Structure 1
Amino acid sequence: MEIPFNFVIDQLFPIQIRIKPMFGMFAIYVGDKLVLILRKRDKNPENNGVWIATNKNHHQSLIQDFPILKSITGIMGKIDETKWQLLSSTDEDFEENVIKACELIKKNDPRIGKSIL
């Protein structure tokens, strides 16, 4: 299976990342934190793009930085406010916003990432 949106890997350089397949998607870890999921699947294509791992209390400040940010669409098309926020691959400024998110990750922005410990 090919990693979608693999430009993300280049944008995170030079920090050390780990990439793991996860339910037909790819999780990106930095140290002990899960920071992003890359998703491009036929099922529920409205959820395709780059998922940002965060907490609900950071949503508003992240939306100020990323106006195109939205919650993941759940089962039956219901929009659930989850900890995960989506930069949709169909948005016009998708790559520009993903690059901006990668820059925040490289600066260790505390709003992005979920500890796996």
Structure 2
Amino acid sequence: MPRHPKLKPRPPHSFVLEALATLEPDVRRMFSGWSVYVGNRLFMMLLDHAKYPKDNGVWLVLSEATDPMDAELRQALPSLRPIQGLGSKIGHWLVLPADCAEFEQEALHACDLILSHDPRLGRIPQWRR
């Protein structure tokens, strides 16, 4: 019986990568999702995993100087919330949940913030310093 080649898994929420295409993001597997780097900065992780349905969506990485409760950021991205699976362990990662009614609109707005070099988003991981 012939063996069928396995399909390579693809990152979810491809519209996010399309929106960031001019920055030539580097997309890599990370845990159960896909990390998105621009240069040395990690900006987000894309997750769509059956095991973690409440945390599926776009995980945004805040800069070192950004308070996770930043009122302006919360106003720009109203559905932004802590990642349930992380508890309070990593406060600088927040999720735009895929099950939110405005998910695509808010995810694209987050991309606009990244494209405009908003200093509240992205950080250089320790292993890249």
Q: So what's the TM-score if we normalise by structure 2?
A: 0.82
CA contact under 8 A between 1:58 and 1:111: conserved in structure 2?
no
Q: Quick check: 1:44 aligned with 2:52?
A: yes
Q: Which runs of 4+ in 1 moved over 6 A?
A: none
Larger radius of gyration: 2
Q: What is the number of residues matched between the two proteins?
A: 114
Aligned with residue 72 of structure 1, among 75, 78, 83: 83
CA contact under 8 A between 2:68 and 2:92: conserved in structure 1?
no
Q: Quick check: 1:105 aligned with 2:111?
A: no
- Matched with 1:96 is 105
Secondary structure of 1:91's partner? coil
Distance 1:84 1:112 in 2: 10
Distance 1:91 1:35 in 2: 20
Aligned partner of 1:24: which letter? Answer: S
CA-based RMSD? 1.6
How many percent of aligned residue pairs carry the same amino acid? 31
Aligned partner of 2:84: which letter? Answer: T
CA contact under 8 A between 2:68 and 2:91: conserved in structure 1?
no
- Matched with 2:24 is 16
Q: Quick check: 1:63 aligned with 2:71?
A: no
Aligned with residue 96 of structure 2, among 79, 87, 99: 87
Q: So what's the TM-score if we normalise by structure 1?
A: 0.89
Secondary structure of 1:74's partner? helix
Distance 1:23 1:44 in 2: 12
Distance 1:85 1:59 in 2: 10
Q: 1:109 offset after TM fit, Å?
A: 0.6
Aligned partner of 1:103: which letter? Answer: D
Of the structure 1 ranges 57-66 and 106-115, higher mean CA displacement relative to structure 2 is found in: 57-66
| Unaligned 5+ runs, structure 2 | 1-8
| Unaligned 5+ runs, structure 1 | none
